[in-house]
A = this chain, B = another copy of it.
Amino acid sequence: MNARALDASSLRDPGLLALMAPASVAVVGASSDPGRIGGRPINWMLRAGYQGEIYPINPARAEVQGLRSYDSVAALPHTPDAAIVAVPAPQVVGTLEALGEKGVRAAVVLSSGFAEVPGEGAALQQQLLDTARRHGMRMLGPNCLGLFNANVGWYATFTTAFESGWPRAGRIGVVSQSGAFGSHLVCLARDRGMGTPFCVTTGNQADITVGEIIHWYAQDPEVDVIAAYVEGVTRADVFVEALAAAQRARKPVVMLKVGRSAIGHRAAQSHTASVAGNDVVTDAVLREFGVARVRSVDELLDVAYMAALKTYPLRNTLGVASISGGVGVLISDIAEDEGMAMPPMPLATQKRLLELLPYASPVNPVDCTAQALNDPTLVRSFTRAMVEEGQYTSVLSFYAQLAGVPPVADRLMEDLAVLRQEHPDRLFVVSGTMTQDRQRAYDASGLAVLEDPVRAARAIAAMGRLGEAFERSHSSWLPEPAVLTLPRGPMSEAQAKQLLAEHGVDIAPEQLCADVESAVHAARSFGWPVVLKIVSPDIAHKTEMGGVLMGVGDEEAVRSGFDLLLSRAKAHVPNASIEGVLVARQMQGGVECLMGIQRDPVFGPMAVFGLGGIFVELLNDVVLRRCPFNEEEAERMVRSIRSVGVLDGMRSRPPVDVPALARMLSRLSVFAHHAGDQLESVDLNPVLALPLGQGAYALDALVQTCSNHGKETGK
């Protein structure tokens, strides 16, 4: 990252610029011992040839590691761009104050003993933040391992990682909430020959979060791929905007987000003071922005490595060339797991290839057998046919140890390099064993090498998903602004339905009847049978107390049912305020779904859709999305549940009205968006989806406002 590149970019925050590429730095708590936290960053910078000024601050010494040392921040001859803070926790506030007064724009706080420890830590951390903010100074940490920008020799970190070698040049930016993990990742990447010149560890992220660094990388012309490790999302707005920026910039965000499990969740909360959040919600947000979510360190590296080729095939099809039929089968299994198509070669091509080599399997996987050893032209002909006639967007070639043994290996690399040059939109991946030097030569030719064919196939599938995510870009659809004020206090079913109906949600035909005669009249007008339900703001779960009567078939039944419901309600909640009995047409057929809104403390209102009953209870087959979204997006959601077959008409039943479901879901999301913090949740359960063309109707509705919403809106 040179100054010119940065000037030309749209990176506007001077504090972040000072953090990522400072021209000078103060080290508060500087140590002469390169093994100590206050000594190691200086040592790294000296060894790496940092071109800026380093000002050690240590009142006990005149010189630190050969550099002139200063007594205090105030005593510095110039204002440094950034500062590294490595003093005990109780001294950090004072240090920040001094740095702020001096006009320093960014502080890297390595010290620990803040929100990650019980007791006073959280309050002390808040003081740090207040101090930094008062001075307009940005802060990384506290309790972080620091950061580095290898392109300018800036190493504000006390990691020991570089004892085994420096990071390599390249275009992958790393950001990690955990310092040890970030360091580990950088070492592994280096050992695999990957270039990660940037790594920021955010620790307690009192000020600067992972999201903000992702956003920085999204705008940084020196970064093509963003590798992120996340425990919990703290500032959803920043995070979401960062993911959107990366998607717009067509820069893959490859993310290991931990804390999925119960133990993991608990562990994440006790670590670096993060809120792990509801993983299901976070996962929905990551999917929304096309983040490549990975489950292991190897996968993180595999996907980031391949992504650095910047080839993200749309409608990805995989052609497999293999000297081992067995590995071809293995790759086919993985392609199916990943939903990646492996169409067969055109028949004419198959015929031609069989003429070249009668024992070949020319379909896909294409197997030119061990003959590849003896005839150098075979691999070339077969692979070219796959690219030009099979039209595969990705070609995975498995050559085992042949990929590394000259002269086969030399020819192979040359042939593939030529194909890649002629077809730069295709992804060429080789699986086999070879030396690191040879692998670097493949990399230099724009070809990827992954030893394990399974991991190669999975990473190729990830490239296709990235291509689709970049293609759809992020819909920035927003509804017309509207002001919506929810009533205070609990809402009855009838009130909830009326409110939702006003916002475009279709409610089953029904009528609230205060007396038995109007109930009979309503039932007659709907047609038989009808459903009767007690309506009271004091009774939330009416089914459990017998407050719903189904299949009421004639006038006499309406009369007796009406009385029965009133007596049951009084028995259940003696002083219940009864609004009456709801008479509704009992709908037949269709599929029961559920729809709702749940306010997430991190990401705000989330819409939920699923099928009713065991699909949700047992299978957890639901889809979530941040609100609001349009009908097109809603239909994608509805169709993304695993049990979508039920909606498309199982057991020769007609398909249901998915467009009507989508319309309702989108309108519900708009309602939730406008209601904002006033709304806690909406439950439409069931929503009956009738056969296509006949609509979808909410049969029950429960709206809960926030418990303190009355007070808030009353301000």
Known: A231-B326, A326-B181, A617-B650. A164 touches B405 (CB 8 A): yes
Contact B455 A329 (CB under 8 A): no
- CB closest chain-B residue, reference A359: B117
Interface-located stretch among A11-19, A183-191, A211-219, A487-495: A183-191
Instruction: Tell me which residues from 358 to 406 in chain A have a Cβ below 8 Å from any Cβ of chain B.
Output: 358-359, 361, 363-365, 367, 369-370, 373, 400-402, 404-405
Q: Mark A170-191, 1 if CB is under 8 A from B, else 0.
A: 0000001111110110011001
Contact A361 B164 (CB under 8 A): no
Number of copies: 2
From B179, B261, B329, B402, A332 is in contact (CB under 8 Å) with B261
Q: Does A272 contact B (CB under 8 A)?
A: yes
Contact A271 B645 (CB under 8 A): no
Kindly list chain B residues whose C-beta atoms are within 8 Å of the C-beta of A346.
none
Q: Does A471 contact B (CB under 8 A)?
A: no
Kindly list chain B residues whose C-beta atoms are within 8 Å of the C-beta of A402.
160
Instruction: Tell me which residues from 497 to 553 in chain A have a Cβ below 8 Å from any Cβ of chain B.
Output: none
Kindly list chain B residues whose C-beta atoms are within 8 Å of the C-beta of A336.
260-264
Q: Does A126 contact B (CB under 8 A)?
A: no
Kindly list chain B residues whose C-beta atoms are within 8 Å of the C-beta of A324.
178-181, 184
Known: A184-B433, A272-B326. A454 touches B296 (CB 8 A): yes
From B373, B401, B453, A161 is in contact (CB under 8 Å) with B401
Contact B298 A452 (CB under 8 A): yes
Contact B191 A433 (CB under 8 A): yes
From B261, B333, B334, B651, A259 is in contact (CB under 8 Å) with B333
Instruction: Tell me which residues from 134 to 163 in chain A have a Cβ below 8 Å from any Cβ of chain B.
Output: 145, 160-161, 163
Q: Does A614 contact B (CB under 8 A)?
A: yes
Q: Does A268 contact B (CB under 8 A)?
A: yes
Instruction: Tell me which residues from 240 to 298 in chain A have a Cβ below 8 Å from any Cβ of chain B.
Output: 256, 258-264, 266-268, 270-272, 276, 295-298
- CB closest chain-B residue, reference A272: B325
Kindly list chain B residues whose C-beta atoms are within 8 Å of the C-beta of A359.
112-113, 116-117
27 contacts between A and B (CB under 8 A): A112-B359, A117-B358, A164-B433, A179-B324, A179-B370, A180-B324, A183-B401, A184-B401, A187-B401, A188-B451, A191-B433, A229-B326, A258-B329, A258-B332, A261-B335, A263-B332, A264-B329, A270-B325, A270-B361, A270-B363, A271-B325, A271-B367, A296-B455, A297-B451, A614-B650, A617-B650, A618-B646
A180-B327, A258-B329 given; name 9 further pairs at CB < 8 Å: A117-B358, A164-B404, A164-B433, A177-B326, A187-B433, A231-B326, A264-B330, A271-B326, A614-B646
